[in-house]
Structure 1
Amino acid sequence: MHAIDGFLPAKVAEPLHADEIHVWRLRRPKGAGREPLLALLAGYLGIASDEVRLVANEHGRPALDPLHGGVLDFNWSHSGEQALVALARGLAPGIDLEQRRTRANALEIAQRFFTAEEAGWLGTLDEAERRTAFLELWTAREAVLKALGRGLAFGLDRLAFRREAAGLVLQWLDGEDPAAWQLQPLDVGDDACAALAWRGAPRRIRRFALADATR
């Protein structure tokens, strides 16, 4: 079958080149656990899904067991019954997906965990704009922290973003050079918000969707 708008409606992993990051969108029904992720990783590794072995670092970030060669890295995020998986060679990607929903305390959360400048900017927006901007800031933070190999416990206030015409840019990250980082928003439709981050040079992002096996 042919690709449609950059998405492949088939369970086939194309070759992942060193200058690319592959981002897959797939269904993760309730109770599926890691099965959709393992099936996708198996396709890249050329093995059965029950042969895929994962490990976690001291902060809980999952990764492929070194027995798989230590070349391929991934990160994934799920919200509702959707999931995003980022795969790359030679770098650790971070990805976050969040369903859009009303958060009555979004500004309160921002004032507590974001920088004063970010919270101040959110405070100038109307409710609809604030909901979108909050999610953009949240997913950007999660993506960077996951690429860093740390979780939210690292501290949401230890990184900051500035808004430019093209979107959010990492302005400060404690202990890191923000200029060495890439941050890319991902269009996942009107019902969700997502971001991809990595430390390193720009790479081509290729996006795919996994066909629903029930169709």
Structure 2
Amino acid sequence: MTTDSLAPAKVAEPLRDDEIHVWRLDYDHHQGRAPFLVLLAAYLGCAANAIQLGAGVYGRPSLEMPRDPDLHFNWTHSGDQALFAIARGIEPGVDLERLRERPRALAIAERYFSVDEFAALAALEPAARDAAFLQLWTAKEAVLKATGRGLAFGLHRLSIGSRADQLALHFLDGELPAHWQLHRLSLDSKHVGSIAWRGGPRTIRLRTLAPGA
């Protein structure tokens, strides 16, 4: 994973087939999809208002116009931060959470997570549990987004292990975990994020979009 802080002009830097570009940006929920469409337009070489989006059966945004069937993207936001992931030939799933207290983390994990995930969280000291829960949550969401199904698929139908700086997909109902890639995103002390995709390894280029770009 590489991390760069780049000027807005670099948004349109060529996207190689062996890369995933992940943009981090300041975000206000009143903006809706607008900032993400601006980034997508830079890769497509068109105006943002020329983009037409559709949605899959489970609501995942997809590109209808201009046509580029090889280009796939995903976005997420939490508080005043957002992530936008884009790649060719694979469908990325990305998720972001701002670190905060989660007093019901164990109760949620016991009800919705796998037995192994719950046991791993229960074994942690309370001071470390919130961050671990949110990292696990973003990892599960990233995988579910990459499947195109989202949370409707069921949090209990996949199991993820977390150790040091590594995430590992141990189980995904109906699929082989070996066909998947799952990674933490190196953000800051206040946020956790994850990215997942079905396919081989790729270089993740994490960039920060300059404010007002």
Q: TM-score range by the shorter chain?
A: over 0.9
Identity percentage of aligned residues = 52
Unaligned 5+ runs, structure 2: none
2:67 counterpart residue number: 68
Which stretch of structure 1 is more off in the superposition, 66-75 or 141-150? 66-75
Q: 2:5 aligns with which of 4, 7, 16?
A: 7
1:101 counterpart residue number: 100
Determine which structure has the larger strand proportion and give its number.
Answer: 2
Q: Quick one: which amino acid aligns to residue 109 of structure 2? A: A
Which stretch of structure 1 is more off in the superposition, 172-181 or 125-134? 125-134
After TM superposition, give the deviation of residue 166 of structure 1 in Å: 4.2
Query: Equivalent residue of 1:47, what SS?
Result: coil
* Equivalent-residue separation in structure 2 for 1:109 and 1:88 (angstroms): 33
2:76 counterpart residue number: 77
Query: Equivalent residue of 2:175, what SS?
Result: coil
2:56 counterpart residue number: 57
- TM-score, scaled relative to structure 1: 0.94
Unaligned 5+ runs, structure 1: none
2:88 counterpart residue number: 89
Determine if contact 1:95/1:194 at 8 Å carries over to the other structure: yes
Query: Equivalent residue of 1:131, what SS?
Result: helix
Q: Deviations over 1:106-145 (max 9, x none)?
A: 0000000111121111111122211111011100000000
Runs (4+) off by over 4 Å: none
For residues 1-215 of structure 1, what are the structure 2 equivalents within 5 Å? 6-11=4-9, 12-65=11-64, 67-213=66-212
Size of the aligned set, in residue pairs, is 211
Determine if contact 2:182/2:195 at 8 Å carries over to the other structure: yes
Determine if contact 1:97/1:139 at 8 Å carries over to the other structure: yes
* Equivalent-residue separation in structure 2 for 1:162 and 1:198 (angstroms): 16
Query: Equivalent residue of 2:5, what SS?
Result: coil
* Equivalent-residue separation in structure 2 for 1:5 and 1:85 (angstroms): 14
Q: Superposition RMSD on alpha carbons, in Å?
A: 1.6
- TM-score, scaled relative to structure 2: 0.94
* Equivalent-residue separation in structure 2 for 1:49 and 1:5 (angstroms): 26
Q: Deviations over 1:178-204 (max 9, x none)?
A: 001000100111111100000000001
Q: Quick one: which amino acid aligns to residue 148 of structure 1? A: T
Query: Equivalent residue of 2:119, what SS?
Result: helix
After TM superposition, give the deviation of residue 7 of structure 1 in Å: 1.9
